[in-house]
Amino acid sequence: MANNIISIIIITSLATYLSRFLGVLSAEKIKETSKIFRWFNCLAYSTLAALIARLVIFPSGSLSEIDYFIRFAVVILSVFIFYLTKKNLVYPTVFSAVLLSALSSFLS
């Protein structure tokens, strides 16, 4: 069992880092102002927005037990913190986890 887990970790790590390495090699030839770069950037942000919307609107697991109002309030406040901290991702991420935990335990 332990050998299988170690094998899986090694294989997935190689796949992850190989794709990242190939991305770095191919990104050298793409200008940041090119249309393809902007398209991939938009694609990445839209995928992230869709995943966040799915988590907020159709959650699974223990997040589904938390009220919609609490989830939407945490997202809105986290976006506000994001812009307040000059687009730093660390503060709203920590803030959202702490606030969601506090509100769910306090209001439930």
Is 8 within a domain? no
Is 18 within a domain? no
Is 100 within a domain? yes
Is 50 within a domain? yes
**Is 88 in contact with 82 (CB distance < 8 Å)?**
yes
Q: Cα–Cα–Cα angle for 91, 92, 96, nearest 5°?
A: 120
Is 36 within a domain? yes
Number of domains in the chain: 1
Query: pLDDT, tens digit, for every residue of 30-77?
Result: 787 888 888 888 998 899 889 888 988 898 888 888 888 889 999 999
Q: Residue 1: what pLDDT? A: 63
Q: Please tell me the pTM assigned to this model.
A: 0.60
Find, among 34, 94, 104, the residue nearest to 66 by Cα. Answer: 104
Is 44 within a domain? yes
Residue 14's identity, in one-letter code, is L
Number of H-type helices and E-type strands within the chain = 4, 0
Contacts of 90 (CB under 8 A, 6+ apart): none
The residue segments making up the domain with residue 62 are: 31-107
Is 17 within a domain? no
Compute CA distances 108 → 36, 53, 66, 67, 78, whole Å: 47, 23, 8, 9, 21
Is 21 within a domain? no
